[in-house]
Structures are given as C-alpha cells and as structure tokens.
Structure 1
Amino acid sequence: MTESSVHPALWPAPHATGTVDATVTVPGSKSVTNRALVLAALAAEPGWLRRPLRSRDTLLMAEALRAMGVGIEEGVGPDGSGETWRVIPAGLHGPTTVDVGNAGTVMRFLPPVAALADGPIRFDGDPRSYERPLTGVIDALRVLGARIDDEGRGSLPMTVHGSGALDGGPVAIDASSSSQFVSALLLSAPRFNQGVEVRHTGARLPSMPHIRMTVDMLRAVGAQVDEPETGGEPNVWRVSHSALLGRDLTIEPDLSNAQPFLAAALVTGGRVTIPDWPERTTQPGDALREIFTAMGGSCELTERGLTFTGSGRIHGIDVDLGEVGELTPGIAAVAALADSPSTLSGVAHLRLHETDRLAALTKEINGLGGDVTETADGLHIRPRPLHGGTFHTYDDHRMATAGSIIGLAVPGVEIENVATTAKTLPDFPQMWTGMLGA
C-alpha cells in the first residue's frame, strides 16, 4: 500500500462534534533525538538512546551517520523497555553522500562532523533545502580550518573535504537567521583540537531554548561549556576539547508535537492529557502551558503528565514568540478562532524555515475567510467566520497540523499532503482521529 493511498492528496480534516477528552502519548523529541545521535556518534564509547523518535528527520540523521561509519543498531533495549538505539562510535570516513531531506538539524549539525571525517562528504537534499540558509555554518567551518566546496552558493549542495581533524578556536558568526548555526558548532566542538569559541555578532538570536538544550546535553556527556546563561560573556559560547561519554539517555516526548493536541482541548472546550510531560525541560514546547492558558485554558502538571483543559472560549493574545518560533503555526491557527485579535511577533526568521511560514499562514488562513496580515516580524490576526476549503502545506509538517486545528472548528477543511507530518510525527493522522474517538 502506497503512502498516497493511506493519506490521500486532500485529507478531510476531522470536524469535532463535541468536546475532546483524550490521553495522547506523543513520540520522542526530534530536537533531542538528533542532538543525542550526534553526541553519541562523537563519544569515546557506545551509548543508548531509549524511546527515540522514528521520523523522516531522525532517520535521515541516523542514515547519514551510518554512511560516515557510525554503528547504529535499532532494537529493544536490554531491559525490554521499548525501542532503543545503540550507537557505536567509529572512525568517521568518506567518500559518501548525505541526504539531508529538508531537515535543518541534519543539514546544519552534520557538516562540522564531516569536517572531522577522513575523506569527502557530499551533502544534498530536497529542493527546498537549497534555499535554506547555511552560510553561517559554512563560513565558520572555513575559519576553523575546514575545506568546503559549495561553488560560492552558501547553501546546498556542497562537499566537506574532511581531513580527520579540525583545528577549532574562535569564530564569529551571525546566527540571527537560525540558532542551529550555534548548536551545530557547539555539538562537535569537544572533538576540535582547540575546542571552539562561538561569538554571535548579529541581531536578536532566535530560539534560545534550543541552544540551552544543546548546552545541557553537552554537559550531560562530560563537555565543559561556558555560556551566557551561567554568567559568561553575552552571545559567546566556549566549549573545551575533551572526550565525550557514552550515555544511556531516555528521550523526552516532543512537546512541540503535543501542540495540536493541546490546541484541540482549547478549541473544543475539552481536556487532553499528555503523559510523561517533563517537570523541567529546555524544549520550546513547554511554553505552551503559559501561552495556551493565556488564550483561555488551564493546565495541571502531575506525575501522570500534563492535563490541559479548555474553557470553551478562546482569547486573542499579543505575544513575542522569538524564543519559540516553531510554535507559531499552531498558535496562529488557534488565534484565527479566537474572540479577539492577536499579534504574534519576534518571528521574522520563520520566513527561512521549511517554507516561508509567515506567508504560508497568511495565504492559507485568508483562503478560508480569515483576516491575517504579515508584519515585519510576525502576524496580526483578526478573527473572522471561517469556511471550508483546501489548506496547503508546502511540504511543511507544522502547516499540516495548523490546518488540522482549524478543521476541528470549521467543517469542510481539506489538508493537502497531510503525509508531510511524517517529518517529525509519522502517525499524526491516526493519532488525530484517535483523539476524536473516530
């Protein structure tokens, strides 16, 4: 059975006929899984990843590392606790080609790893990957001693000519278009001969929680990191040369992928529980507790997980999403159903994500009768009565889930290419209909 027969080109978004009352188990975090894979591949000893996310982005990362010589064995953990990947570090080598798909973590985190390999590593991917910014990583690696052939594009496709080691040292970059530029250099830095000092020189740095995630995970495997959050110099991160430890790591649920399910409680005035919501986390999705509460719900975090309850009303919000930009599509979808206008700001960098998310949200919500306008760094949303129609996704998983949220309240919404959710949430259509009791 083909993917298109399972998820037709136009997927009728389920319309909620009552309040949602469900428990939804969300798979592991893509951001944590892909960082953990890189760190385990660079470690001095084998490590275990328990409950990793199996999605397009994480499988692309795993296959890329395998192509460079890393052993990744998939199976059940030694204690029978569910799916576990054993990562066995090995000498990194080429020649090989890495398919990044349209995964920002793969296209940005792996060129520094490739610089440590012995031999050429070619990077290629989906057509959209050619349009996504990569200059920050390319220029930084050249300063640190790497040889890269990108034919002057500053983007994919390109070849990293690994020499088996990298000098490292200080480097200044403008990471205002993606915090992944900083994380990319930090993750491999313990293996650089001089470590690294990364200095951000541009405008506001977006998605800071993801950099905090990188720093926390580096420290957990034995790296020494000096960073602004712990009294270091502003916009400067230093990682010392050191060996990395193999870890036995359980991957947290992906809190950003919990967003549509929490939104369902808000939209329908119902209740949704997400098991295993961590008490402390660096995931940007944790901000949903505060944001969705301000929009009309309430939440309770217990040993069972996070239970979010809608009040039956949705309020508009004026919020700076600069640190949690990936949540913007879902928040915009909820805001289009609110009882008052919303302004979402601080997210100009979303124009460079899987698609231009600001333009896409404006076009698709307005296509259903909405009133959304782009601002310099975000969206202004004035709620209007919406009607059915086609909601295009532009091969962007978060556009697909945003359209599905609107479909709960608006009959006749059809999602074009819902299968794109496989990027980070492979079973989304089944999970969505299951939540509704269908």
Structure 2
Amino acid sequence: MTAHLPWTAPTAAQPVSTTVRLPGSKSMTARALVLSAIAVGPSTLAHPLRARDTEMMAGGLRAMGVNVSTVDDDRWVVRPDTLQGPAHVDVGQAGTVMRFMPALAGLAQGPVTFDGDPSVRQRPLRPLIDALGSLGVSIDAPATGSLPLTVRGTGRVAGGEVVLDASASSQLVSGLLLAAPSFDRGVVVRHVGPPVPSAPHVRMTVQMLRAVGAGVDDSARDVWSVEPGKLTGRGWTIEPDLSGAMPFFAAALVTGGSVTLLGWPRSSAQPVDRLRALLDQMGGEVSLGTDGLTVRGTGVVHGLDADLSEVGEMTPVLAALAALADSPSSLRGVAHIRGHETDRLAALARELTALGAKVTDTADGLEIEPRPLTGGVFRTYEDHRMAHAAAVVGLAVPGVELDDVACTSKTMPDFPALWSAMVTGK
C-alpha cells in the first residue's frame, strides 16, 4: 500500500485546451499479460500501463515462473515457461489479478497462494472459486469465499462446462475464458442471473483470445465457449485507457475547453461509442481525428439520465459532472460498483453531499440534484476513481481537498502532475 498524500485539486481559471498522452489500458495490459504467459513463443506489449495493478500482475506471473521483462517502460516482453509452484501472488487491490490469476494457478505444478490489501478481501470471488472447483481445480478458501486462498495446482485443468452468476463482475467470466485454451477440454461458461455488468470487457476478452488463435464461440447470449488449443505469441499494441481519460474529458465539459487524447485507434475494443453518447447528452462533443480522440465542451454541463451498466468504471466522474450540471441526473445499472475498491455509490453520495449536492444512493445508482457547492475534504477511500471525481469537482469549486491522491498510482502514477499541467497550462 502507498502512503497517503493529501492534495488540493486545482481550480480552472480558464477553459482547458490541451493534448494528453495517457498510459495504456489497464484492461488490455492485464489480458495481454495473461495470454502471453500461456502462449507458444514470446510476446511483446507496446505502450503498456505501468501502474500498481499491472505491476502486481507481472509480479504474480514471475512468481509462477514466467519471464516478464518490464525494464523498458514502453515495451514489455513476456517469455512463457512451465507454470510452477509453490508461489505467492500479491494482488494488491487489483480485481484483474485476483480474478484472472487463479485459473492460471490451476495449471501450475504446485500450490499458489493469493492475498492482497485488506480491502480486497471484501470483493466478490465465490462464483469463481466454485466454478474452478467444478472444472477440477482444488482450492482452499475461507468460508466467506474470498481471499486469502490457495490454489493447489497439478499442472493441468480438466475443464468442461460450468454455470455461474457473474452479475457481480464481468471479470469472473474473463478469468475463466483467458486460461481456458490450456484446459484439457477448454471451457463452456454459462451465466445465470442478473445481467453481466461491463459487457464490453468480456467482448475485449473474446477479441484478444481470437487474436492469439483461440477458438471462441460467443454467439449465444450469456454463453461463452473456448476450445482447447495452442496460443501464438504476438506483438500487442495497447490502446490508451478510456476510463483513465474520463476525468480529462470531463475537464473539457466543465471548463468549456478542448481535450485531445493522443494515440487513439480507429477501431477500439473499448466502449468509445457509449462514451460519445453519454458526453453528448451532457453537452459535450466527441470527435475522432488523425491526432486522436477529442472532447469539446461549452462550459455548461447538462444532467444525465442513463443506464451505466456497460461503463460502471466511469460512474464516479459522471457523478462529479452531474453535481456540476444545470439539471438533475439519474444514474442507474451500477449496483456492482459497490464491490469495487470501495462501495462507490455510498462513497460518492457521502462525499458529494458533504460538498453541498443533494445525492440519493439508490439500489443500483445515484439520483443527483445539483446545488451550490463549497470546498472541503473529499475522502477517496484508497480508490483511484474517487480521486478522479474529486479532481473534476475541484475544477469549478475552490478548496476541494483530497485526503489522498496517491491512490491514483493504482492505474495512473502521474495523474497529479498531468492534471495540474492541464489546468494551469504549465
């Protein structure tokens, strides 16, 4: 865990006008690391995300015998080897490590233990533990179905068909699919329950599996089938992180400025069309040009009425925008973000209310009625997305003091410097 670092969010004196080059997508980096670890031959990751979550993933793979070189910030190299135990994987606060690595550990020759920061022990893991057990993986876990746990790897996983409720996190599905080509019989995953949140992340998993030669059938709703087979090492080009870009895009709306995210691809596995629709409803304009993805604002933010189930990671920043809007907002479909780094709905309601907004925490979202806001301490709960939300509010409200900005190192270690440079123009 990093030491807490208080920080006063800078207030914008004029419209921001900037181009930013942000770190690579956490989701793509994590998936590329896992797939590279079980491929035949080496793989490279160009423009990966170097942050706490991905360092934890690389460290976990190294502990299990995979050669992961991260010496070059902009080009990581993965050379797969036989997965080995005994090993210990520190997941930190990373849901991707906690949910992607246990299936790999079943393929290791020996026991692999998992644990992380105290808060991560509260995050949903039982469906994955039970699913791996039904596929032939022996796991020792507490009765709560959470970390810490030990996977007793035997060097192989039988695989087969499994039914689970993945309504708490799409990572429960992706964690099974990513390792499935190395299972004896592959896997058929059937989701039964409320809708799987963050569906674009599962689509990203499927696309990346196919890119390394896996046979994947996702034609039936809530059913994913992965055939057993060899994966091919390859070069991955990691896209900029769309969720990480959200606070910067929000700055364009709040200040009536323009922000361009450099290096955005013409075709993306991330939910850019959904982002475009949401920001358009709030008064922004999103365009894709040769230089990147640009968001422009007018300085007037409109309220938002939307189901955010596919883009739950964007909820904190959208809630911050809603608190600065000219009309009420209704954000729905994100009950699952109660199980993220913190209960984000309760935390957002508490902190935005403390600054003066009227916020109602509903079963699956937030009702936000804008009111005049004042500065004050905004607690981040060791959650990078809460820090992003506070920074957005601080653009328009002087004196917003984050109790900890160091938590942004989870996905963007340079966030405070990048943000201050954008706001001050220096």
- TMscore range, shorter length: over 0.9
Provide the residue aligned with 1:134 in structure 2. Answer: 125
User: Can you list the C-alpha shifts for 1:125-172, whole angstroms capped at 9, x where unaligned?
Assistant: 000111001011100000000000003221000000000000000000
Offset of 1:285 from its aligned partner? 5.3
In the alignment, the residues of structure 2 paired with residue 149 and residue 171 of structure 1 have an alpha-carbon distance, to the nearest angstrom, of 19
CA contact (8 A) 1:255 1:286 kept: no
- SS of equivalent to 1:429: helix
Unaligned stretches of 5+ residues in structure 1: 77-81
Provide the residue aligned with 1:294 in structure 2. Answer: 281
CA contact (8 A) 1:272 1:307 kept: yes
Return the match for 2:349 from 345, 359, 362: 362
Provide the residue aligned with 1:44 in structure 2. Answer: 40
User: Can you list the C-alpha shifts for 1:211-269, whole angstroms capped at 9, x where unaligned?
Assistant: 00000000000000000xxxx22210000000000011110000110000000000000
Provide the residue aligned with 1:332 in structure 2. Answer: 319
1:382 lines up with 2:382 in the alignment: no
In the alignment, the residues of structure 2 paired with residue 420 and residue 75 of structure 1 have an alpha-carbon distance, to the nearest angstrom, of 23
Q: What does 1:2-17 correspond to in 2, within 5 Å?
A: 9-17=5-13
Return the match for 2:179 from 179, 185, 188: 188
Q: Which amino acid in the other structure matches residue 173 of structure 1? A: L
Q: Which amino acid in the other structure matches residue 27 of structure 2? A: S
Provide the residue aligned with 1:400 in structure 2. Answer: 387
CA contact (8 A) 1:189 1:196 kept: yes
CA contact (8 A) 1:285 1:324 kept: no
Provide the residue aligned with 2:102 in structure 1. Answer: 111
Unaligned stretches of 5+ residues in structure 2: none
Q: Which amino acid in the other structure matches residue 186 of structure 2? A: G
Provide the residue aligned with 1:79 in structure 2. Answer: none
In the alignment, the residues of structure 2 paired with residue 159 and residue 145 of structure 1 have an alpha-carbon distance, to the nearest angstrom, of 14
- SS of equivalent to 1:323: helix
TM-score normalised to the size of structure 2?
0.98
Return the match for 2:24 from 24, 28, 44: 28
Give the number of aligned pairs.
425
CA contact (8 A) 1:73 1:87 kept: yes
User: Can you list the C-alpha shifts for 1:292-350, whole angstroms capped at 9, x where unaligned?
Assistant: 12101112211110111101211001000011111000000001000000000000111
User: Can you list the C-alpha shifts for 1:46-99, whole angstroms capped at 9, x where unaligned?
Assistant: 1111111000000000000000000012244xxxxx721110000101101100
TM-score normalised to the size of structure 1?
0.95
Offset of 1:194 from its aligned partner? 0.1
Provide the residue aligned with 1:272 in structure 2. Answer: 259
Offset of 1:187 from its aligned partner? 0.1
Return the match for 1:216 from 207, 213, 216: 207
In the alignment, the residues of structure 2 paired with residue 339 and residue 28 of structure 1 have an alpha-carbon distance, to the nearest angstrom, of 33
After TM superposition, the structure 1 stretch with the greater mean CA deviation from structure 2, 163-172 or 291-300, is 291-300
Return the match for 1:179 from 149, 159, 170: 170
Return the match for 1:83 from 63, 68, 74: 74
In the alignment, the residues of structure 2 paired with residue 121 and residue 162 of structure 1 have an alpha-carbon distance, to the nearest angstrom, of 7
Provide the residue aligned with 1:206 in structure 2. Answer: 197
Q: Which amino acid in the other structure matches residue 53 of structure 1? A: L
In the alignment, the residues of structure 2 paired with residue 41 and residue 282 of structure 1 have an alpha-carbon distance, to the nearest angstrom, of 21
Provide the residue aligned with 2:408 in structure 1. Answer: 421
In the alignment, the residues of structure 2 paired with residue 276 and residue 10 of structure 1 have an alpha-carbon distance, to the nearest angstrom, of 31
Provide the residue aligned with 1:349 in structure 2. Answer: 336
The percent identity for this pair of structures is 58
Q: Which amino acid in the other structure matches residue 168 of structure 1? A: G
